[in-house]
Structure 1
Amino acid sequence: MATKIRLARGGSKKRPYYHIVVADVRAPRDGRFIERVGAYNPMLSKDDEGRIKLNEERIQHWLSAGAQPTDRVHRFLDAAGLLKRDEKSNPNKAKPGKKAQERLDEKRQAEEDAAAAAAQAKEDAAAAAAEAAAAPAEEAPAE
């Protein structure tokens, strides 16, 4: 029998609460399950310890028995250190589109040009100050 570790929704309307359950893959989402192994309350803040509760011993048992976690439960297990999650399979999907990349390149080029112009102006001002300091020193002994 193929089993999954997944979420089963509970709670009332607009107040979700999920049980983390081990269920047959053919069972409905909120229907029959084999064992309840945890809970997830998305209404609590992300740093609250009661947001995710896991029975780690039973989860390890079911993972060793071949149960496959869903993506969301896999994230919970990875955060708890029970199961390692693979990297994203398509990292290029998160990159901006062609036009957005062109705009970013133009903006970056404009910033580099502005920085170069500012550096050049600073060098010119320093050179002019050095020349101005040197010129009065030469004129004073001549008098």
Structure 2
Amino acid sequence: MSLKIRLARGGTKKRPFYHIVVADARSPRDGRFIEKLGTFNPLLAKDNEVRIVLNTDRAKHWLEVGAQPTDRVLRFLDTAGLLKREARNNPEKAVPGAKATERAEARVAAAAAAEAAKNAPKEVPAEEAPAE
């Protein structure tokens, strides 16, 4: 049986509250779980001590048994000092897509054309040559 340490959502609409639970990976998010390890209240300030309540002894036990934490729970375990979470880096995430790149290039070309038209010397109409 594959075990996960994950969040189970509680609370009302637009007022989330999460329980940190150990559950079978196949069970639904808010469904059956094996043990409740703590709580997470995202509505509280980040420096509030009751924002994350975690039973570290039981968390250590489940990690030794082989339970895999989700990414968010891994952050909590990292702050508690139980596991080390490697910082993720995806520099390609910030690169704009193809359409956005085309639009930006078109905008730059239009601005350059407008600047060139503004700086171009104005043509003075040629005086008519006297007729012979």
Q: Would you say same fold, with TM above 0.5?
A: yes
Taking the TM superposition and a 5 Å limit, the aligned residue runs for 1:9-88 are: 9-88=9-88
TM-score by length of 1: 0.64
Q: Deviation per CA, 1:70-107: give whole Å up to 9, x if none.
A: 000001111111110013153x23666687xxxxxxxx
Equivalent position SS for 2:50: helix
Q: Deviation per CA, 1:111-138: give whole Å up to 9, x if none.
A: xxxxxxxxxxxxxxxxxxxxxxxxxxxx
1-structure distance, mates of 2:89, 2:68: 18
Equivalent position SS for 2:73: helix
Q: Deviation per CA, 1:4-52: give whole Å up to 9, x if none.
A: 0000000111111000000000000000000000100011111000000
Runs in 1 of length 4+ with deviation above 6 angstroms? none
The equivalent of 2:92 in structure 1 is 93
Q: How many residues align?
A: 100
The equivalent of 1:117 in structure 2 is none
Sequence identity (%): 64
Equivalent position SS for 2:6: strand
Distance 1:95 1:26, change over 3 A: closer
Is residue 3 of structure 2 the alignment partner of residue 7 of structure 1?
A: no
Corresponding letter in the other structure for 2:92: K
Corresponding letter in the other structure for 1:55: N
TM-score by length of 2: 0.69
2-structure distance, mates of 1:66, 1:89: 26
Larger Rg: 1
1-structure distance, mates of 2:49, 2:22: 22
Distance 1:15 1:95, change over 3 A: closer
Equivalent position SS for 1:50: coil
